[in-house]
Chain A
Amino acid sequence: MQYKMQTKNLNLHYGNKQALYNISLDVPTNKVVALIGPSGCGKSTFLKTLNRMNDLVENVHIDGDIFLDGSDIYAPDTDIVHLRKRVGMVFQRPNPFPMSIYENIAYGPRIHGISNKKQLDEIVEKSLRNAALWDEVKDRLNDSAMGMSGGQQQRLCIARVLAVEPEVILMDEPCSALDPISTMKIEELVTVLKEKYTIVMVTHNMQQAARVSDYTAFFLNGKLIEHDITDVIFTNPSNKETEDYISGRFG
C-alpha cells in the first residue's frame, strides 16, 4: 500500500490545552479517508495540521511527524505556499470570493504564475468540469459567484482547489450546509475525484462516511480510537466506543 500522507505520534496543544494525542494515521494514495467523531474531538484540528493551516493560530504547539510523499511537511525548508497548493482545502461553508465565477477559479493559478488567457480559460473549464459544475455555469462565467446556490458554491470551491492541481484535498464537513441532492452530488464527485486525488474528509454524517470513504478514522477526545477499512468499521468495528458512536448511542 502506498501512503500519500502519514502522521506519526502527532501531538497538538492550543496554549496549554492538548487537542490531539499521539495520532498516527496513514492516508493511502487515491483513497478517501473519512474522519468522524463527536464535536470537539479534534477532527478539524487534525485536518488542518495536514496542510499547516494551524500555523495561523497563535500559541499552537505541534510535535510528532507529518509526511507528504515521505517528506516531513514541518521541516524548516518547507515552502508553505507550495505545500498548500499540493494539499488543498475545502471548508464547511462555501466561501467563494466576491468576484465572478471565472475569477474565483483563475485566482489560484494566477498566484502560481499563470497569466496566459487561453491557458487560464482551459484551466477554468477543466476545473469546473471536474467539479461537475461546468454545464450549470458555462453561460454565466462572468456572473458573480455570490449568486450561485449553496451546492453550486461548494462545487465552485472544489473547482477552485482543483484549479491549482493539488495532490491531496482536505474537506471539512463539505456538505453540512447543503441540501440532500447537493450533498449526493458532492459525494458522487468525491468518488470520481479519488481516481486522481487523495482525499481526507471530515464529516458529522456517519452515513456519508459509510457511503463515500474507503477508510474511516474515529476520533474521541483528541485521540484516534480506531482506524480501519470503512466496510469493517461499519459492520464489525473492534472498539466498543466506535460501535456506540456509529450506531448513534452517544455523541
Chain B
Amino acid sequence: MEQQITRKAYIEELAKIQEKVVEMGIAAETACKNAIEALLNFDKNLAAEVMKNDDIIDDLLIDIEDSCILLIAKQQPIAHDLRVITTAFKISTDLERIGDHAFDIAKITCNSKKAFDFDETSIKKLSDCAVNMINMSTTAYKNADVNMAEKVCIEDDTADSLFAKTLTQIAAFNENKGISELSFISRYLERIGDHATNIAEWVIYLETAERIRKTNRLSD
C-alpha cells in the first residue's frame, strides 16, 4: 500500500519554526559583527542601527515562542518533533541574550564622547572568536551538524582564555581611561561565546537526544 503524507500542516509549521530560529541566528550574528565594527571604527551611526535592530530580534523571539506554544497546545509533538520545539524555545532565548549583549556593546559606543584609545588586537581576536561561535552554532543547527556543534563546545575554551588575556591587556594598556567599558565589552563577548555554546549543546540534544553538561564537555 502506498504511503500517504499525513499532518502536512503540522510538519510545515515545525519547519517554519526552524527557519525562524535560523533567521534569528543570522540577525544576532549580524548584530554582534556590527557592534564590534562600530566600536573599532567609532561609528555611532552603525552602533545606533544595532540598537534599533534589537527590536527585530526581540520580535522574532516572541514569534517563535508563540508558534511553539501553539504547536504544543494543538499537536501533541513527540520525539524529534518535541525536541524541535523545546530547542527552538531554548535556542531563541540564547539568541535573544546574544542580541542584548550586542545592544550593550553598541550602547557603550553610542554613549562615548570619543573613540577608545586601546590596543585592539585582543578584543578583535575575542570578538572574532565569539562571532565565529555564533555562526558555527547556528549553522550546525541549520544543517543538523552534530560535529560542528561539538567544535563550538571546544571553541568555548578558546573564548574563555582570550577573555582572560584581553582583560590583562586592557588593564596594562589603559590604566584608567575606558578600562571599565572595555572590560565590560570583553565580558559581553565572553558571554556571547557561552550562549553560542549553549546553542551548540541544544543542537546536539536536538539531533541525538543526548544531554551535554558543561562539566563533562568534550574537551575535558
Chain A residues close to B by CB (< 8 Å): 132, 135-136, 181, 184-185, 187-188, 191, 207, 210-211, 230-231, 234-235
Once A136-B1, A235-B69 are accepted as A-B contacts, the answer to whether A185 and B6 lie under 8 Å apart by CB is yes
B6, A184: Cβ atoms closer than 8 Å? yes
Which stretch (B72-80, B136-144, B163-171) binds chain A?
B72-80
B1, A235: Cβ atoms closer than 8 Å? no
Chain B residues lying within 8 Å of A181, measured Cβ to Cβ, are: 6
Which stretch (B7-15, B19-27, B202-210) binds chain A?
B7-15
Q: How far is the CB of B4 from chain A (nearest CB, A)?
A: 6
B74, A191: Cβ atoms closer than 8 Å? no
Which of A132, A135, A136, A235 is in CB contact (< 8 Å) with B73? A235
Chain B residues close to A by CB (< 8 Å): 1-2, 4-10, 69-70, 73-76
- 29 residue pairs bridging A and B, Cβ less than 8 Å apart: A135-B2, A136-B1, A136-B2, A184-B6, A184-B7, A185-B4, A187-B6, A187-B7, A188-B4, A188-B5, A188-B6, A188-B8, A191-B8, A191-B9, A207-B74, A207-B76, A210-B73, A210-B75, A211-B10, A211-B74, A211-B75, A230-B74, A231-B70, A231-B73, A234-B70, A234-B73, A234-B74, A235-B69, A235-B73
Q: How far is the CB of B76 from chain A (nearest CB, A)?
A: 6
Q: How far is the CB of A250 from chain B (nearest CB, A)?
A: 19
Chain A residues lying within 8 Å of B7, measured Cβ to Cβ, are: 184, 187-188, 211
Instruction: Please report the C-alpha to C-alpha distance between residue A230 and residue B70 in the assembled complex, in whole angstroms.
Output: 10
Chain B residues lying within 8 Å of A191, measured Cβ to Cβ, are: 8-9
Instruction: Please report the C-alpha to C-alpha distance between residue A188 and residue B11 in the assembled complex, in whole angstroms.
Output: 12
Q: How far is the CB of A128 from chain B (nearest CB, A)?
A: 14
Instruction: Please report the C-alpha to C-alpha distance between residue A132 and residue B74 in the assembled complex, in whole angstroms.
Output: 24
Chain A residues lying within 8 Å of B5, measured Cβ to Cβ, are: 188
Which of B2, B4, B69, B74 has its CB near the most chain A CB atoms (within 10 A)? B74
Q: How far is the CB of A195 from chain B (nearest CB, A)?
A: 12
Instruction: Specify the chain A residue showing the minimal Cβ separation from B1.
Output: A136
